Amino acid sequence: MRSTPDKATDFEKTSKPAPGPEHRRSFVIKAIALACGAIATLSPFAAGVWTYLDPLRRQSKASTFIRVVSLGSIPDDGIPRLFPIVSDRLDAWTGFPSEPIGAVYLSREKGSPQVKALSAICPHAGCFVGISAPSDCFRCPCHNSSFTLSGAMIQPSPSPREMDTLDCQIDESGQVLVKWENFYTGIATKVPRA
């Protein structure tokens, strides 16, 4: 065991490059060795990283208006009610024909044909906001962010912004369509996810 390092130093002593063309040759060999080794190991690594980052290059489908309910199904008492968003969904290689992909709170003021749509996802950290019956407000079950029934913040709240409104349309046959979007959470402004 002990003789090994001695041998190595002996070897290093004897193989110390001489100046001149011999030295140049040694440098070239070292450079080529390093280059070959680097290319050999780094190319699969780079290919791996490239593929691993595939989700960054994948554009999600542009958000579209989805038919949710008929206007008549939303009582005009100003109290938001939760309606499932049913749509075709793609999960990587699996395609789901019309299944519930999320839910939206819809409300309507007395006699008003206007519908207000609020995303059920808390803008704080993304939990599912519920309606708290006794105090008539929205409350997130995670970090206690509270919102009025129109989605405004009830202070003090850990949430950085009020509940996210979703664009809403009512077509000629009285169907309520909601633009289904997800937003980044935890920031003061409402930025849709790409």
Instruction: Find residue 105's DSSP bridge partners.
Output: 82, 118
Among 65, 125, 152, 179, binds another protein (CB under 8 A): 125
Residue number, 11 or 96, with CB nearest to another protein: 96
Asked if 25 is part of the footprint of another protein (rule: CB under 8 A), the reply reads no
Query: Can you tell me the distance from the alpha carbon of 111 to that of 122, in angstroms, rounded to the nearest whole number?
Result: 29
Name the segment binding another protein (CB under 8 A); options: 9-17, 27-35, 71-79, 107-115: 71-79
Residue closer to another protein, measured from CB, 26 or 65: 65
Among 44, 56, 62, 110, binds another protein (CB under 8 A): 56
**Which residues inside 160-179 make contact with another protein, applying CB under 8 A?**
160-161, 173-175
Q: Tell me the closest approach of the beta carbon of residue 92 to another protein, in angstroms.
A: 4
Tokens of 8: 């190595």
Binder to another protein among 5, 6, 44, 91 (CB under 8 A)?
Answer: 91
Indicate whether 42 belongs to the interface with another protein (CB under 8 A): no
Task: List the one residue from 19, 20, 94, 111 that touches another protein (CB under 8 A).
Answer: 94
**Based on CB atoms, which residue is closest to another protein, 17 or 75?**
75
Q: Which is nearer to another protein, 5 or 55 (CB)?
A: 55
Q: Judged by CB, which is closer to another protein: 6, or 91?
A: 91
For residue 101, state whether it binds another protein (rule: CB under 8 A).
yes
3-state SS, one letter per residue, for the chain: CCHHHHHHHHHHHHCCCCCCHHHHHHHHHHHHHHHHHHHHHHHHHHHHHHHHCHHHHCCCCCCCEEEEEEHHHCCCCCCCEEEEEEEEEEECCEEEEEEEEEEEEEECCCCCCCCEEEECECCCCCCECEEECCCCEEECCCCCCEECCCCCECCCCCCCCCCCEECEEECCCCEEEEECCCECCCCCCCCECC
